[in-house]
Structure 1
Amino acid sequence: MSHALFDLSGRTALVTGSSRGLGRAIAEGLARAGARLIVNGVDPARVEAAVAEIRAVGYAVEGSTFDVTDEAGIIEAFTHFDAAGTEIDILVNNAGIQVRKPLIEFSSAEWRKVIETNLTSAFVVGREAAKRMIPRKRGKIINIGSLASELARPTVGPYTAAKGGIKNLTRSMAVEWAANGVQANAIGPGYMLTDMNEALVKNPEFSAWLMSRIPSKRWGRPDELVGAAVFLASTASDYVNGQIIYVDGGMLAAM
Structure 2
Amino acid sequence: MLLSKISSLKTAASFASNTIRNMSNIPKNRLEGKVAVVTASTEGIGYAIARRLAQEGAKVILSSRKQNNVDSAVSKLTAEGLNVTGIVCHVAKAEDRKKVFNEADKLGGLDILVSNAAVNPTTGPVLDCDESVWDKIFEINVKAAFLLAKEGVPLIRKRGGGSIVFISSIAGFHPMPLLGAYSVSKTALLGLTKAAATDLACENITVNCIAPGVVKTKFAEYLTGNEAVSDHALTMIPMNRFGVPEDISGIVAFLASEDARYITGETIIAAGGMSSRL
Matched residue SS, 2:275: helix
Aligned position for 1:97: 119
CA contact (8 A) 2:38 2:114 kept: yes
Residue identity matched to 2:122: R
- Whether 1:236 and 2:273 are equivalent positions in the alignment is no
- On the 8 A contact 1:141/1:183 being kept in 2, the answer is yes
Deviations 1:150-184 (A, max 9, x none): 11111212211110011110111100011001000
Contact 1:5 1:234 (8 Å CA) reproduced: no
State which of 43, 64, 74 in structure 2 corresponds to 1:51. Answer: 74
Counterparts of 1:1-255 in structure 2, within 5 Å, are: 7-82=30-105, 84-102=106-124, 103-252=126-275
Q: Structure 1, unaligned stretches of length 5 or more?
A: none
TM-score by length of 1: 0.92
Percent of matched pairs sharing the same residue? 31
TM-score by length of 2: 0.85
Q: Distance in 2 between matches of 1:5 and 1:77?
A: 25
Q: CA RMSD in A?
A: 1.9
Cα distance in structure 2, aligned partners of 1:4 and 1:52:
23
Amino acid at match of 1:92: V
Residue identity in the other structure for 2:118:
G
Matches of 1:152 and 1:11, distance apart in 2: 36
1:129 offset after TM fit, Å?
1.1
Q: How far is 1:243 from its partner?
A: 0.3
Q: 1:211 to 1:85 in 2, by over 3 A?
A: closer
Deviations 1:51-78 (A, max 9, x none): 1110011001111211101123213432
Q: State the alpha-carbon separation in 2 of the partners of residues 18 and 76 from structure 1.
A: 16
Number of equivalences: 251
Specify every segment of 5 or more residues in structure 2 that has no aligned partner in the other structure, as ranges: 1-25
Contact map agreement 1:94 1:144 (CA 8 A) in 2: yes
Q: Is the 8 A contact 2:174 2:276 kept in 1?
A: no
Q: What is the rounded CA distance, in whole Å, between the counterparts of 2:222 and 2:27 in structure 1? A: 41
Aligned equivalents of 1:64, 1:202: Cα separation in 2: 30
Equivalent residues of 1:16, 1:41 under 8 A apart:
yes
